[in-house]
Amino acid sequence: MINSTQVSYFTFAAYFNIGLFKYLFFLIIMCFYALIICANLLLIVVICMNRSLHEPMYLFLCSLFVNELYGSTGLFPFLLVQILSDIHTVSAPFCFLQIYCVFTYAAIQFHNLSIMSYDRYLAICYPLQYNTRMTSNKVAVLIALTWLYPFVGVSVTIALSVPLQLCGNIINKVYCDNYSVVKLACSDTRVNNIYGLLITCLLVFGPFSLILYTYVKIFKVCFSGSEQTRQKAVSTCTPHLASLINCFFGSFFEILQSRFDMSSVPMMLRIFLSLYVLTCQPIFNPLMYGLQMTKIRSLCKSIIFSQM
């Protein structure tokens, strides 16, 4: 039996030899990462530097874009190193650090999207009371909870996984994943499984329930309201709905990958499915909000063209 102190590194079995194509993949992913950094940084600067955007909706967006930078940095540099490497291994401490970054990124993403749906719910269903219900103090508390709650919850997950006695060190993915590590354990994992189920319910289904509730109320007001109300709902909720669908679509792929046997699926497709939520969200969100929201789009144009 190999215990946790003897497992000093993990090996990724999902990588395979692609010859000189690895340099092409390296360039593609590096360009993708650079685009993510530039797009999200641009929108963060636009929101922070323009006082006209210091409103709850845009502050929640700023939190979303900061999280995209955080999650991307926890994944892309690691992928770039692994693509060029001939030996696809990672030290155990770094592996758990990556698990922490990826899991907190995903949890913060869900919470960001849920408070954004709550904000749109108040703006559409209670327009006259919006400023009294969504105060600056409330915005600060919501953003703080969005970040602190996942960090605490995932810290416990990592604390339960690190001491596990492992019987192997092969991870069938291209990055570190907590469930993959737990599956390697030869010791009792009941506490890990129970807490994993509990924290999943709290960090995923909790925000999902709030999103579902708010959109039921929004749609109810839209169907019974005026044409102006419907237009306002469409203009402000379309980017958010698109982001939600993309996020849950990617999360569904990840659940399939983790919980079910996908050996009959081609390796390249499995890699794409496992990376979808971590790679497509950080570029999808800034492009969606930057293109759809007139205020942000016009300010972005003025910043870009003023530098030329």
CB 274 within 8 A of CB 251: no
pLDDT of residue 303: 64
**Which of 265, 304, 306, 262 shows the shortest CA–CA distance to 39?**
304
Q: What is the CATH number assigned to the segment(s) 9-306?
A: 1.20.1070.10
In 3-state terms, what secondary structure has residue 187? coil
Please give the model's pTM, rounded to 2 decimal places. 0.89
For the record, the structure tokens of 172 come out as 């069938």
Residue 241 neighbours by CB distance under 10 Å = 16
Q: Are 275 and 174 spatial neighbours (Cβ–Cβ below 8 Å)?
A: yes
Give the number of C-alpha atoms closer than 13 A to the C-alpha of residue 164, restricted to the C-beta side.
Answer: 28
16: tokens are: 């395979």
pLDDT beneath 50, residues of the chain = 1-5
In the block, residue with structure tokens 């492009």: 287
| pLDDT value, residue 1 | 39
- CA triplet 188, 262, 85: central angle to 5 degrees? 85
Q: Are 213 and 247 in contact (CB under 8 A)?
A: no
